[in-house]
A and B are shown apart, each in its own frame.
Chain A
Amino acid sequence: MEDVSEAHYIGYEELVTDLSTLLTYPPPFIYINDPISPRTTSMIVDSIFEKFIEEFPGGSSSIRAAKVNAISCFSARLLYDSILNSLASWEAQWDDGCANWNIEDDGPRWNENFDGFIHGLHALCAYLQDEKARKKGKGKQKQKSTEYEGDDVRLIIAIERAERLKDNLPELLVPLTRLAELARIDLTVIFISDVQWEDIRPPLGASPDPFFIDVLPLTKETITNRICSKFSYTSDDLEPGPYHPSLKGLYSHFISVLCDVCFPFTNDPQELEYIAAARWPGFVQPVLDEHRRKVTSESENEMNEGDAGSTLHPPTEDVRMRLSRIFNSSLNSAMEELYPRLTNATEWASANQPKSDLLAKPPGEVMKRGTLGSSLDKDEGMKSLSRMSKFILVAAFIASTNPTKSDLRMFGRGLDEKKRKRRATKATGKTKGGPAKIPQRLVGPVQFPLDRLLAILGALLEENDVESRPPAPPEYTIPGEYTDMETGRIGIYSSIMKLTSMRLLHRMSHPDRIDGPPALKCGISYDVALLLAKQLDIPLNDLMWDPI
């Protein structure tokens, strides 16, 4: 167990020594900034507290620490209650009606406002001092010399993800940073955040500047070292599993390769551990299979041999090479799917499980598994759309992307039924001064009135859909009249409504407005629009004003 906690600190030794030295006589306000992995830091701060309180003279009766998360404490009351409960080591019980910590059963509430919170802290201090005095009275003879002077109780309050306070509880930021001064007790407030103090500092210098502790990003070597030393043996010879002592060498190799692949993308040790945990069981699966096969065959051959043959030996260099060849390509895909959490580790691991007895097969036969098809399929949700809805979406995309003035050039038809001449080339941007124009596609969709959508839809239908329709009834004589009638059908409107409710179109104007056509905005990306256009045989790129 000692070993594990040591491994926990690898790469963070400076933080550990700094903080635990500082806590002997702490400044009132400390700010710990870790831009890479605030979660790891806050876990380490936790264990520092634990260790510090253990070693502190007087133990938990003369020093108490609380750590709360500003994400979960999104309201002032939650924050006050969690801090007080955690300082008092009080756990709300369901049977007692989840009451908060208090001295008496119907004592005053500490969560009414900040003053109440400070009164709560005072009450807690008095309570702890009482408790301490009682304890001291009992064991007076035994530990007289090692007594921590005074009856003071020191409180440490750590708040992780402190940057959230700025958004959620801005009015508490100043009082919290001045808490020691306001409460006038021995107290330290520690903020832990991945944001710099300058970004959350209240204006006008209302808060005193904290004592800064910066956690430096770990190097690749340190991270590799850290993850390797966290390899804990959870399996033994009786039941060989992926975390077997003999596999530690292989694990270090695996981790160093993994870090080589992933380090350019993330240097958060937790993310790397997550990816490692997802891949490792699959990676050693062939070795374990091999071992199991050997054990079974041996026990079949010699029933009375004893269990000498059943120990799992570290795999040979050759095996390691083969495993690397098989699995290295999957590391990249693991990173791509697991780092953005497109899927979770368990699912990914089961989807990428290697075939059994991979090592028994000749190398040529081992097929490289294709990676799991990207679970974020762009076509998802588009399959159920009707042909007309697809037309509407493409028209909406065009309306959102092209400037209104360009519509006549793009879609206008003369009597000769020939397309008007398009703009010959891209306008030379540098003719006028000022910044270059950025394609609308990159800036985001603009809103357009419904009429324009219908007009563009009509033009698209006329050009791409006429052939696939049954011939127009004889009463429509003017070219395009039938299409015009089509776009006026109630079905089109209801499709637009449906697409709006699916958020593929966004309605921008207020639903209650009755004057003028409703304004809409396209909700699909260029890639999706291109996909739909391809299905409909629309040359989308030719219809875009800004060339791609």
Chain B
Amino acid sequence: MHVLEVLPPRLYPCLNSQKRAILRTLQISIHPYPSYEARKERGDDRTGLETNEVALQQLYDLISGTVNRGEGNSCLILGPRGSGKTRLVERCLLNIPNKPIILRLSGWTQHSDRLAMREIAHQLNQQTGTTIFVHPDDVPRNIDNDYPDRELNPFLDKSVSSMLVSSASLPLSSHLPTLISALPTLPRPTIVILDGFDLFSLHPRQSLLYCLLDTAQSCHSGAKSRGLAVVGITTRVDTVNLLEKRVKSRFSGRILRTAPPQDLEGWIEVAKATLMPRVLDENQEKSYNEEWKSLWNMAIEKFLSDRSVTKALNETFSITRDIRMLNKIMASLALHLAPTSPFPSVSQIKATVLSQRIRPRSPFLHTLSYPALCLLIASVHVDSTGHSTFTFEMLHECFYDQLRTSLSAPVQVNGGSIGMAFEYLVSVKLFTCIAPSTGVAKEFVKYHSVVAREDVKKAVDKTGQINLRKWFTKAQ
């Protein structure tokens, strides 16, 4: 049975729902908060994720120790980008019983300890100030603990402390140690997740980390304290070395590692699972008839067993093991399915890999306007005289010399067009400014061209303008 080249119109809806199903699968795997079932199903599908499974088990043990037995724990999850660190934590948290208080901080947004603390206070208010999470039995006993701020500030009277519950109110920075040491006294165990852990260690004196880790370490299991777990997430391998001695000595030293798929088979497996998604909406199920299903499955089998496809995937795998890269390639493949080419093809994956993986530095050079190309050639000329930087006037002079000497210049350029072309090249950052330009007239600001000589050559060849090519070859 051969694969159809052009799709009959009755199968158009099938193609569309297939596309949507693929994108949906991709979104679920990218999206940080997918439904548990989908995640479990996908997690089971994967091979080559054993490292992550081990880490998951360890993290689960650690956190359940905190939640069930009130331990103070700390650990660091370390792994390259896209190896599933955040996903690991989320998966783990979904399985934890008793709904602990979860504080999520990110080094990217909380640039200072003060901001981090405000965010902690806010999230505490969100999670304990509402009654949804509070166990009914705990309410009368721990009423003070529901409002940690009140405990922190004995000078506040009652009305003010009740105001503190609203999310607008936040404690002062001097209360940081007290606020954090109050965490184990909350009605429920607390889990603090620090994304970008290495960035927190760059804060002055590492006081937040110190407080958190100190509290976690000194957290004794007992009736009073409820347990605190500090989970750091980072890609930086030397993060532990960044910690000050007093902070490091309070860190448990537990490092859980995550890894992307280790072999190409796992990678292709993921690709296959993406292209043949099992999760389908009810709506989609209707239009997903058997005929289409068999056609599609056959096409995918054929596609994935093609040698060029395997090669493309293998190359990608050798460059990066970030699963998000694969997801992007798959998404792009799915986008370009059309009734005229209903199944992914070899040429498509080649184009996709080019546009999503390692992108060419300046793919549009040959479509540049005539004056802009002239300026690029002039910059090559200037470069070949031994000057790596140039001003607009230098390029202009070079261009005019060429215009004077060759009578065959195709376009007489005057007016503002060459200046506009220069500004265009600056604005798309093909020319980058290298010296501070204050107090220097615009035409004398020094620039540097980021376009390699070969790229200019290719672009000039591609435009097929003989004059430009002649001029270009003069630069030796």
Contact = CB atoms under 8 A, between A and B. Distances in A.
Contact of B415 (A181, A337, A525): A337
Interface string A278-312: 00000000000000000000000000000000000
A39 to B, nearest CB: 12
Nearest to A106: B168
Given A336-B417, A506-B439, A434 B335 contact: no
B7 to A, nearest CB: 16
A442 B391 contact: yes
B252 to A, nearest CB: 26
Interface stretch (B294-302, B308-316, B359-367, B452-460): B359-367
B239 interface: no
B321 interface: no
B363 A21 contact: no
A206 B415 contact: no
Contacts of A525: 441, 443
Given A22-B335, A118-B109, A267-B367, A108 B168 contact: yes
B122 to A, nearest CB: 7
A305 B359 CA distance: 70
A194 B23 contact: no
Given A21-B19, A436-B385, A115 B369 contact: no
B115 A113 contact: yes
A265 interface: yes
A443 B444 contact: yes
B448 interface: no
Interface stretch (A171-179, A246-254, A361-369, A383-391): A171-179
Interface string B260-281: 0000000000000000000001
A16 to B, nearest CB: 12
Contact of B27 (A25, A108, A178, A336): A25
B385 A435 contact: yes
B32 A336 contact: no
B32 A339 contact: no
Contacts of B327: 27
B340 to A, nearest CB: 12
B23 A178 contact: no
B119 A25 contact: no
B23 A25 contact: yes
A24 B386 contact: no
Interface in B50-95: 81-82, 86
Interface string B416-447: 11011100000111000000000111011000
Given A113-B115, A181-B32, A444-B440, A265 B369 contact: yes
Contacts of A178: 106, 108
A464 interface: no
Contact of B364 (A35, A266, A443): A35
B331 interface: yes
A444 B32 contact: no
B306 interface: no
B111 interface: yes
A114 interface: yes
B316 to A, nearest CB: 13
A195 interface: yes
Contacts of A174: 108
Nearest to A194: B428
Contacts of A266: 369, 417, 420
Interface stretch (A67-75, A207-215, A234-242, A465-473): A207-215
Nearest to B416: A340
Interface residues of B, number: 71
A198 B24 CA distance: 28
Contacts of A113: 109, 115
A386 to B, nearest CB: 24
B26 A25 contact: yes
Contacts of B385: 435-436, 438
A180 B32 contact: yes
Contact of A25 (B24, B86, B369): B24
B141 to A, nearest CB: 30
Q: Is the interface of A mostly helix, strand, loop or mixed?
A: loop
A228 B285 CA distance: 44
B43 to A, nearest CB: 19
Given A175-B108, A205-B81, A266-B369, A444 B441 contact: yes
A195 B153 CA distance: 51
Nearest to B111: A171
B201 to A, nearest CB: 14
A212 B356 contact: yes
Contacts of A27: 26-27, 30, 327-328, 331
B1 interface: no
Contacts of A58: none
A443 B393 CA distance: 7
A180 B109 contact: no
Contacts of A209: 324-325, 328
Contacts of B336: 18
B12 interface: no
A55 interface: no
A53 to B, nearest CB: 17
Given A195-B429, A265-B370, A438-B387, A336 B328 contact: no
Interface in A396-441: 434-436, 438, 441
A36 B421 CA distance: 12
Q: Which among B31, B81, B391, B440 has the greatest number of chain A C-beta atoms within 10 A?
A: B31
Contacts of B441: 444-445, 523, 525
Nearest to B384: A435
Contacts of B118: 115
Contacts of B81: 205, 208
B91 to A, nearest CB: 14
A199 B359 CA distance: 12
Interface in A252-275: 264-267
Contacts of B347: none
A523 B439 CA distance: 10
A196 interface: yes
A506 B20 CA distance: 63
A22 B33 contact: no
Contacts of B324: 208-209
B206 interface: no
Given A21-B19, A115-B119, A435-B386, A28 B108 contact: no
Given A25-B23, A198-B359, A209-B324, A182 B444 contact: no
A264 B429 CA distance: 21
Nearest to A340: B416
Given A209-B328, A443-B394, A339 B416 contact: yes
A211 B167 contact: no
Interface in B340-371: 355-356, 359, 361-364, 367, 369-371
Given A21-B23, A182-B106, A340 B444 contact: no
Contacts of B444: 443-445
A22 B20 CA distance: 9
Nearest to A508: B439
A340 B23 contact: no
A114 B27 contact: no
Given A181-B32, A267-B367, A442 B397 contact: yes
Contacts of B428: 35, 194-196
Contacts of B82: 208
A21 B110 CA distance: 35
Contacts of B108: 174-175, 178, 182, 206
16 contacts: A21-B20, A21-B335, A22-B335, A27-B328, A108-B166, A115-B110, A119-B122, A171-B111, A194-B428, A209-B328, A211-B331, A214-B363, A337-B415, A340-B415, A442-B391, A444-B393
Given A217-B367, A266-B417, 19 more contacts: A18-B336, A24-B23, A108-B166, A108-B167, A108-B168, A149-B281, A196-B429, A198-B359, A209-B324, A336-B417, A337-B415, A340-B415, A340-B416, A340-B417, A340-B420, A442-B393, A445-B444, A525-B441, A525-B443
Q: Which 10 A-B pairs have the closest CB atoms?
A: A435-B386, A340-B416, A444-B444, A336-B415, A25-B23, A264-B370, A25-B27, A108-B168, A217-B367, A114-B109
